[in-house]
Amino acid sequence: MTRDLKQDLQEITSGFADGKIFLIFETNTWNLCWPLIRDFRLVPDTNILVLKPGEENKTIEQVMEVWNVLGSASADRSSLVINIGGGMLTDLGAFAAGTLKRGLACINIPTTLLAMVDASAGGKSGVNFRGLKNEIGVIRQPLHVFLYLPFLRTLDRENLLSGYAEMLKAGLIADRHLWEELKVFDLNGYDEEELERLIWRSIEIKTAVVEEDPEEHGIRKSLNFGHTIGHALESESMHVGHPLAHGYAVAYGMVKEALLSHHKLGLPMAAVDDIRKAITLLYGEPPATLSQSDILLEWMKFDKKNRNNRINFSLIDAIGSCRVDIEASIEEIKEALK
Amino acid sequence: MTRDLKQDLQEITSGFADGKIFLIFETNTWNLCWPLIRDFRLVPDTNILVLKPGEENKTIEQVMEVWNVLGSASADRSSLVINIGGGMLTDLGAFAAGTLKRGLACINIPTTLLAMVDASAGGKSGVNFRGLKNEIGVIRQPLHVFLYLPFLRTLDRENLLSGYAEMLKAGLIADRHLWEELKVFDLNGYDEEELERLIWRSIEIKTAVVEEDPEEHGIRKSLNFGHTIGHALESESMHVGHPLAHGYAVAYGMVKEALLSHHKLGLPMAAVDDIRKAITLLYGEPPATLSQSDILLEWMKFDKKNRNNRINFSLIDAIGSCRVDIEASIEEIKEALK
């Protein structure tokens, strides 16, 4: 956690020559976050890229623009790329940096709660392709990830809640105590110190899992709890032009996958109800799409986690305990989506 | 080295489900090499991609076509991509596989001498961008690299010589005895067993260097001997529309960098002459471009190996002994290019 981003950044960037550091924003973080760090005077204005925001611009075409600008500005293996934004920006920026000249160093500074919790560890990067989320990408550790709580002040409640879902997930798969704390935490007028502590605990969980299984052969898949159905819901909502925030999709996905966990692993119905109630309280009732099982199943078939055309889940057998590589049949999935 | 490619491939592919193995050729290797292995019956015809050949098609656009075809055919993390071709094809195919869904397994089967010696180890992949060679790429180990000597029978002498330059380089940077053997080896009507032994020794040298320094912080840079000037010559020759084969460019680059080695590291003039004579005998007199130092220097400034705008060389202080990270001034480079 970074109390003094200016000092931390100055320390790490002092090893890089003048003109070799590049900042990448998108227009939102440029407008809202750049003013908070402008006085750091990290780089000349010519070394700042401002990209188009949003999932619809998380494209290989925008990556090519980054390659073009960085390449033309003589970025080389002694360069450093600093990505400042939400998950879309850090994913895209890290992929562009990670593939230019077979890999430049990069630092990610997530500016949303979701990006802090979800995208800050693990080294995943990527862009969308053929309408599929993160279809193209690499796994490559950034040099550093800095968290800077003041950036969260730029977020509205929907954005905060979107990130909060990943924290709830961390509790559900690995830490019952964290889940209990998050259930009662007051996100309206939150205490920044307290939120910082909870973010930190969520990141710890994710980092431990990632370090134990960097190549995602086993336990790391537990991070996908709620994501198989959640991603399908997110893709469909994007497809029909009413995009659902990632965290909302994952939250609703966790409710359905909790029910699937009951059927497949015997998760007690009391726990399923506990999860459903807590998530409904925070996120409201799910959209009607969530019960359109035929449509969602079509999306699930494209999931990167599938092997040999079977649909693969990470499910919980208790709150705070996850099991991976659980294959569910079409009928079982339909039952959970009812 | 693979004596029985069919058996080796069947062993390794037996772990992959039906329909999940893809072969990638370009039109040349499709015409010349596919007939040699058609009877292996590795995959159904629908799982074969045939790309456009040549450096000019080593583009991100062609990578996007591969992503499209593989993605549409439901390639997933249980899939295997087998790249069959020269360096252009294996570089591009390995990059496409290495970035689709954040990385599918791939096997490279180089079909040219150059690709066998140069591209078979190290896990480098890439495509050209903004007119720069391998500007975009990743470093990622393929599952396997298979060498199959019969593919070399499809090559003409120029193509063979292009690969031979990388073997000469292996001798020059690390093994004087190999250099002496290669100098007297008869490439006209060569003995296949003997060539196989020499290829194998060259690969051993490269593999040892790569394993010692996978991230290219130190000794691995020795593989760049001849390549700083060689790449510039190659880029310029491509730019003016008379592309020089990679190995020829490297061979001429080694002659000039041997002279630079004399100036910077005291490589004896007798060794410089030995190298010049052997290379002229094999490759003929260098093109006039090689003395156009201003033009070549412009290309060198874009070299990925540069740091902080200094031009960086790997040079030899004796035949069989290389030193890396030698920075040369503009004047010193001009002197060597005279």
Q: Each residue of B252-261: pLDDT tens digit? A: 999 999 999 9
Q: How far is A217 from chain B (nearest CA, A)?
A: 11
pLDDT at residue B306 tops 70: no
- Of A20, A71, A135, which has the smallest distance from its Cβ to B135's Cβ? A71
Instruction: Over range A253-272, report the average pLDDT.
Output: 97
Q: Each residue of B127-160: pLDDT tens digit? A: 999 999 899 999 998 999 888 989 999 999 999 9
- Of A78, A99, A301, which has the smallest distance from its Cβ to B137's Cβ? A99
Where in chain B are all domains bearing CATH 3.40.50.1970?
A: 5-154
pLDDT at B275: 98
Residues of chain B neighbouring A67 (CB-CB closer than 8 A): 129-130, 135-136
**Architecture of the structural domain at A157-337:** Up-down Bundle (1.20)
Instruction: Over range A76-96, report the average pLDDT.
Output: 95
Q: How far is A313 from chain B (nearest CA, A)?
A: 15
Distance CA B97, CA B126 (A): 11
pLDDT at A307: 65
B309 and A74: CB-CB below 8 Å? yes
pLDDT at residue B205 tops 70: yes
Instruction: Over range A26-47, report the average pLDDT.
Output: 93
| Residue B24 phi, psi (nearest 5) | -120, 125
Q: Provide CATH code, domain B5-154.
A: 3.40.50.1970
Q: How far is B116 from chain A (nearest CA, A)?
A: 21
Residues of chain A neighbouring B15 (CB-CB closer than 8 A): none
Interface test with B, best of A77, A101, A231 (most B CBs within 10 A): A101
- Of A71, A76, A304, which has the smallest distance from its Cβ to B77's Cβ? A304
Higher local confidence (pLDDT), B226 or A1: B226
Distance CA A338, CA B23 (A): 42
Q: Residue B304 is encoded by which pair of tokens?
A: 């990925």
Distance CA B232, CA B210 (A): 23
Q: How far is A154 from chain B (nearest CA, A)?
A: 31
Q: Each residue of B69-118: pLDDT tens digit? A: 999 999 998 999 999 999 999 999 999 999 999 999 999 999 999 899 87
pLDDT at residue A120 tops 60: no
pLDDT at B208: 92
- Looking at chain A, the whole-number percentage of residues with pLDDT higher than 90 is 74
pLDDT at residue A242 tops 80: yes
Where in chain A are all domains bearing CATH 1.20.1090.10?
A: 157-337
Residues of chain A neighbouring B302 (CB-CB closer than 8 A): 74
A135 and B308: CB-CB below 8 Å? no
pLDDT at B104: 96
pLDDT at A119: 57
Q: How far is B298 from chain A (nearest CA, A)?
A: 12
B71 and A100: CB-CB below 8 Å? no
Q: Each residue of A298-321: pLDDT tens digit? A: 999 877 666 666 789 999 999 999
A124 and B102: CB-CB below 8 Å? yes
Q: How much helix, strand and coil, in percent to the nearest 5, is found in chain A?
A: 55, 15, 30
pLDDT at A233: 96
Instruction: Over range B305-322, report the average pLDDT.
Output: 86
pLDDT at B293: 92
pLDDT at A254: 98
pLDDT at B3: 62
pLDDT at residue A247 tops 80: yes
B298 contacts: CB under 8 Å, gap ≥ 6: none
For residue B15, what are the CA distances in angstroms to A308, B18, B19? 12, 10, 12
Q: Each residue of B6-50: pLDDT tens digit? A: 999 988 888 898 789 999 999 999 999 999 999 998 888 889 999
pLDDT at B300: 92
Average predicted confidence (pLDDT) for chain A: 92
Q: What is the DSSP string of B212-278?
A: H-TT-SSGGGGGGTTHHHHHHHHHHHHHTT-PPPHHHHHHHHHHHHHHHHHHHH---HHHHHHHHHH
pLDDT at B217: 87
pLDDT at residue B295 tops 90: yes
pLDDT at A203: 92
Residues of chain B neighbouring A61 (CB-CB closer than 8 A): none
Cβ contacts from A onto B, under 8 A = 95
Residues of chain A neighbouring B17 (CB-CB closer than 8 A): 308
Q: Note whether B95 and B138 are within 8 A (CB).
A: yes
Residues of chain A neighbouring B308 (CB-CB closer than 8 A): 17, 20, 78
pLDDT at residue A71 tops 60: yes
pLDDT at residue B2 tops 60: no
Residues of chain A neighbouring B304 (CB-CB closer than 8 A): 76-77, 101-102
Residues of chain A neighbouring B130 (CB-CB closer than 8 A): 67-68, 71-72
Q: Note whether A314 and A324 are within 8 A (CB).
A: yes
Distance CA B205, CA B197 (A): 13
Interface test with B, best of A91, A104, A133, A136 (most B CBs within 10 A): A136
Q: Identify the closest residue of chain B to A303 by CA–CA distance.
A: B76
Instruction: Over range A259-279, report the average pLDDT.
Output: 97
Look at A91-100, A116-125, A319-328, B58-67 and tell me which has the smallest mean pLDDT: A116-125
- pTM, full prediction: 0.80
Residue type, A7: Q
Look at A45-49, B199-203, B299-303 and tell me which has the smallest mean pLDDT: B299-303
Q: Each residue of A133-178: pLDDT tens digit? A: 899 999 998 999 888 989 999 999 999 999 999 999 999 999 999 9
A255: confidence class by pLDDT, cuts 50, 70, 90:
very high
